[in-house]
Amino acid sequence: MSSTPRISLTRFLIEAQRDQGRINGDLRLLIEVVARACKRISIAVGKGALGGVLGSAGTENVQGETQKKLDVLSNEILLEANEWGGHLAALASEEMDDPHPIPHRYPKGEYLLVFDPLDGSSNIDVNISVGTIFSVLRCPDGVKEPDENAFLQPGTKQVAAGYAVYGSSTVLVLTLGEGVHTFTLDREQGSFILTGSNVTIPEDTSEFAINMSNMRHWEPPMRRYIEELLAGKTGPRGRDFNMRWVASMVADVHRILTRGGIFIYPRDLKDPSKPGKLRLMYEANPMAFIVEQAGGAATTGLERILDVVPEKLHQRVPVFLGSKNEVERVTAYHREARG
Ligand code: AHM
Ligand code: MG
């Protein structure tokens, strides 16, 4: 009796390098190292109160948000895992004001890694899914000591992106620019096993994800879109829509990757200085890359997220992503309103 072989992340990456030449040895190492760091973060998250890691670290990050102990720990795990391997030129993170150079005692590589070490921080202490998001760029030619400018590349330049969701199981989702693959952590064995190849997001959906408590601050096209969904069967859309909001982007995006949906964090007028809540380089871009690779769409309401040319490492953007037809509709409403 023959059974389907289990394909580990290691095997998947070795085959991607050897058989199809899709990645080089350094990129393979990079993904493996990030996955190993995600395993460590998964273990820390899983220990919960027993690990002494819940609660606030008593510090603030560059965006003035209070850091949780697990935010800080996850950041340290990713830094420590990635700085010595020789595959990176520099790293940047939601939790650090400036890019982190590779210490001179280690060799440098051709890639830049940017990440949100633990997304969905408000859920850490309440035992709801959180995750790690990462994006890989190439260090521009001739740049020996990469600073913030080296990172300011549009999302179309990403060579890989992924996230790990620490939920009822730990799942790593990866794109190398040729489809999206999911790997589930086998906790006993300690390895990620391929459990989904070329995952696709349905083009249509009846499920939306948005923080409705901000409705009074939204711009008119945003209100119009959600009001139409809420009107259900007897409204202009002629059918009922369901709502879900985990408040962990990773978990909301993972649901959309699994069964479709639209995720929105729009620009709002609560704080006009902020064009949305989510950060372009380590939240919107990697998720947009994954969603597009799965056949979905991702826009700022006006343009494709991946085309935005970043001006700052920690810049924010409005985010509309998921099932293509819904993203296109709400984007059209925003464009119409612009005239
Ligand atoms: P974080 O990186 O500080 O955790 O913030 C990002 C999170 C996203 O995961 C999530 O979609 C959003 O913030 C939730 O926002 P809200 O608190 O408005 O529901
Ligand atoms: Mg985040």
Q: Which domains does the chain have, with CATH numbers?
A: 9-196 (3.30.540.10), 207-338 (3.40.190.80)
pLDDT at 63: 74
Average pLDDT over residues 194-210: 98
Inform me whether the pLDDT recorded for 2 exceeds 70. Answer: no
Q: Which ligand is nearest to the CA of 134?
A: 2
Nearest CA to ligand 1 atom 18: 211
Question: Strands 130-138 and 191-196: what pairing?
Answer: unpaired
| Contacts (Cβ under 8 Å, ≥6 apart) of 293 | 175, 177, 178, 179, 180
pLDDT at 1: 53
Which atom of ligand 1 is least distant from the CA of 278? 6
Q: For residue range 220-265, what is the model confidence (pLDDT) as tens digits?
A: 999 999 999 999 999 999 999 999 999 999 999 999 999 999 999 9
DSSP 95: T
Q: Which ligand is nearest to the CA of 123?
A: 1
Q: For residue range 305-322, what is the model confidence (pLDDT) as tens digits?
A: 999 999 999 999 999 999
pLDDT at 157: 98
pLDDT confidence band for 52 (50 / 70 / 90): confident
Which atom of ligand 1 is least distant from the CA of 211? 19
**6 in helix, strand or coil?**
coil
> How many residues comprise the chain?
339
Which atom of ligand 1 is least distant from the CA of 213? 18
Take residue 85 and report the two structure tokens written for it. Answer: 């391997």
Q: What is the mean pLDDT of the chain?
A: 95
